[in-house]
């Protein structure tokens, strides 16, 4: 079964002002294919790493969405916005006296409280569904939305720079954040402002890492989509960054694609496999991704997500 349409993964540097869906639309036009999806939304004001799957690469997106991420951000203390970021205008402002009392040590203490496992209430203007409808859609319809707190992990939260603006009446804090999937950096900005009693929101956000996909490998979307499209990361190469790898022969690959359970064989001995204890593995045959499979307790492999490939 031959398929000449684009198959693989693309790491894109999303430009500011364009939605993640807008990036998908441009990638569809650039590569001439309809089957494109992304792993993990970036808000329009944000820039940076957006991982996209094309063709059968869309099947890998579910494994990419849940990985950890790194962000560089600027938190503005002294005001807040309805969206907790610069996509809306400030609507609440701190008392100048309260803002004047905020010093470096107070900011450092507020940041320290948000390191590690925390229960975070996501921003109301978010893509989280409430009774089947996006939270942001309910807010824009005039509803009061209160989302439940969710446990997330902020493994690193470092202050890079603090700028006290005497004229504009605000404080800008540049930070770097390593966090689990599902963490809202703008909610961190909101909560720091609340803790300090001066309000807070994001004015800049750049994602520099999604799992093992980094900004230095990201493609910049050209203004002219008539230029040649870049080479995609192959399905096998992308899967290797996400899961331990099992290499199988043609017979076992064919059996897996037929829904059969096969012997896992030497999957623990693959020198390139990162055995994290996961029971899900990427199954490769002749450098082609056969499936994402589950390793059963009896040592057998059972395909969870199959990738149709040509076998000799």
Q: Which of 43, 84, 85, 191 is catalytic?
A: 43
Sign of CA dihedral 240, 243, 249, 253: negative
Which residues have C-beta within 8 Å of that of residue 182, sequence separation ≥ 6? 150, 152
Q: Rounded to the nearest 5 degrees, what angle is found at the Cα of 201, between the Cα atoms of 196 and 207?
A: 120
Structure tokens of 310? 């040509």
User: 13 pairs with which residues across the strands?
Assistant: 49, 220
Structure tokens of 291? 């499936």
What are φ and ψ of residue 253, in 5° steps? -60, -45
Tokens 């009693």 found at? 197
Q: Is 43 a catalytic residue?
A: yes
Structure tokens of 3? 């398929």
Report the distance separating Cα 94 and Cα 145, nearest Å: 24
Structure tokens of 161? 């720079």
What are φ and ψ of residue 61, in 5° steps? -60, -35
Q: Rounded to the nearest 5 degrees, what angle is found at the Cα of 154, between the Cα atoms of 57 and 238?
A: 15
Residue 80: closest CA among 16, 124, 128: 124
Structure tokens of 218? 């990201």
User: 80 pairs with which residues across the strands?
Assistant: 92
Q: Which residues are catalytic?
A: 43
């Amino acid at each position: 079964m031959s398929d000449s349409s684009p198959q693989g993964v693309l790491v894109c540097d999303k430009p500011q002002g364009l939605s993640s869906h807008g990036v998908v639309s441009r990638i569809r036009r650039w590569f001439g294919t309809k089957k494109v999806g992304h792993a993990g939304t970036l808000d329009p004001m944000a820039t940076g790493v957006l991982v996209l799957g094309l063709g059968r690469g869309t099947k890998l997106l579910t494994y990419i969405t849940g990985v950890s991420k790194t962000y560089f951000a600027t938190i503005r203390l002294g005001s807040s916005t309805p969206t907790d970021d610069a996509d809306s205008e400030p609507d609440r402002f701190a008392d100048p006296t309260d803002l004047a009392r905020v010093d470096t040590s107070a900011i450092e203490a507020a940041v320290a409280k948000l390191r590690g496992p925390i229960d975070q209430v996501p921003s109301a203007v978010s893509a989280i569904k409430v009774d089947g409808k996006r939270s942001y859609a309910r807010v824009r319809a005039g509803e009061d939305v209160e989302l439940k707190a969710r446990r997330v992990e902020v493994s690193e939260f470092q202050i890079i720079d603090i700028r006290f603006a005497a004229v504009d009446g605000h404080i800008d804090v540049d930070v770097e954040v390593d966090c689990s999937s599902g963490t809202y950096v703008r909610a961190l900005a909101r909560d720091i402002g609340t803790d300090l009693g001066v309000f807070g929101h994001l004015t800049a956000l750049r994602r520099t890492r999604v799992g093992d996909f980094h900004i230095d490998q990201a493609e910049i979307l050209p203004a002219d989509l008539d230029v040649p499209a870049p080479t995609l990361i192959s399905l096998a190469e992308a899967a290797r960054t996400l899961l331990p790898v099992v290499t199988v022969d043609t017979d076992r690959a064919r059996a897996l694609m037929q829904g059969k359970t096969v012997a896992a064989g030497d999957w623990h001995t693959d020198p390139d496999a990162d055995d994290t204890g996961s029971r899900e593995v990427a199954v490769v045959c002749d450098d082609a991704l056969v499936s994402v499979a589950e390793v059963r307790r009896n040592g057998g492999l059972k395909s969870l997500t199959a990738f149709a490939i040509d076998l000799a």
